[in-house]
Amino acid sequence: MAGAIASATLFGLPVHAQDSRLSLADRVSRLEQQSQKDAGTTTLVNQVNDLQQQLSQLQGQIEELQHQNQQLQDSQKAQYADVDSRLGRLEKGGAAQASSPAAPANAPQAPTPTPTAVAPAAGQQAAAAPANAPAAASVTEQAAYDAAFKSLRAGDYVTASRGFRDFLTKYPDSALAPNAYYWLGESYYVTMNYPVAIEAFQRLVKQYPQSDKVSDGLLKVGYCQIELKQQDAAIATLKQVSAKYPGTKAAGLAQERLRRLQRQTAN
């Protein structure tokens, strides 16, 4: 009996040792699996961090785009307000001149003869008109100009710009040409087509230096240069408006815009 117990004990020891070895292998296997899980978790954490960083960058870009969009909307509102203000003044002027329907509300006024002017004596020739003096607007010219201006007042800037272009092509020497160039530029400026707008305003300034629209046209040249990021040129143009046309509304607006530019530069 004692021999049997001893034999059982002897044969039982390797079994326990084998169980211990199997248990240890399982533990190592579990540790390896846990290690792999930990590595996967680390990779996942890194990916999440990368996504969070990308999200933060996208949020910053969205905020910047929203800011730019707000600036664009503010600029567009200011442009529309400027056009509405000018059209309002023209409408008031037209009401004041209702007794003279042949003269447009915003057409340049004909020079008033001086009291000393007398008719030429028989056999004498009348003094020749200045070579660059625009001819008086005919009924046909006036109708074409009014149609384009009506589109402008209605906010149909595409039709207005087409109408003023056609007018200037057909009647380049008209007394209404300076105004047509100005409102052509406005129709492009309001729709933010600044390169074409600045061309129209510059033609007004160069071709009709005596027109009462030149100060406003030169001011708008400066505005277009600002929108086109031509900062130095814009500052020079606005200073020119202030110097050449002191006391005018255009000069006041130029000075105000210069102050705004200086504040932006300081910031």
- In sign, the C-alpha dihedral spanning 13, 17, 20, 22 is negative
Q: What is the per-residue pLDDT for 239?
A: 95
Domain residue limits at 161: 137-267
Residue 253 within any structural domain of the chain:
yes
Beta bridge partners of 222: none
Residue 182 within any structural domain of the chain:
yes
Residue 91 within any structural domain of the chain:
no
Q: Smallest Cα–Cα separation from 197: which of 91, 89, 83, 77?
A: 83
Residue 174 within any structural domain of the chain:
yes
Question: Each residue of 120-144: pLDDT tens digit?
Answer: 344 444 334 344 445 567 889 999 9
Residue 103 within any structural domain of the chain:
no
Same domain, 80 and 178: no
Question: Each residue of 191-205: pLDDT tens digit?
Answer: 999 999 999 999 999
Same domain, 4 and 68: yes
Same domain, 165 and 255: yes
Residue 188 within any structural domain of the chain:
yes
pTM over 0.85: no
Residue 95 pLDDT > 90: no
Beta bridge partners of 135: 174
Tell me the H-state helices in 97-190: 139-153, 157-170, 177-190
Same domain, 153 and 39: no
Same domain, 70 and 147: no
Question: Each residue of 208-221: pLDDT tens digit?
Answer: 999 999 999 999 99
Same domain, 155 and 266: yes
- In sign, the C-alpha dihedral spanning 110, 111, 117, 123 is negative
CA–CA distance, 111 with 132 (Å, rounded to integer): 15
CA–CA distance, 162 with 177 (Å, rounded to integer): 14
Residue 127 within any structural domain of the chain:
no
The pLDDT-based confidence of 73 (bands split at 50, 70, 90) is low
Residue 160 within any structural domain of the chain:
yes
* Eight-class DSSP state of 265: H
- CATH code assigned at 238: 1.25.40.10
Residue recorded with tokens 């272009």: 165
Domain count of the chain?
2
**Mean pLDDT of the 33-40 span:** 73
CA 85, 256, 220, 224: dihedral to nearest 10 degrees? -120
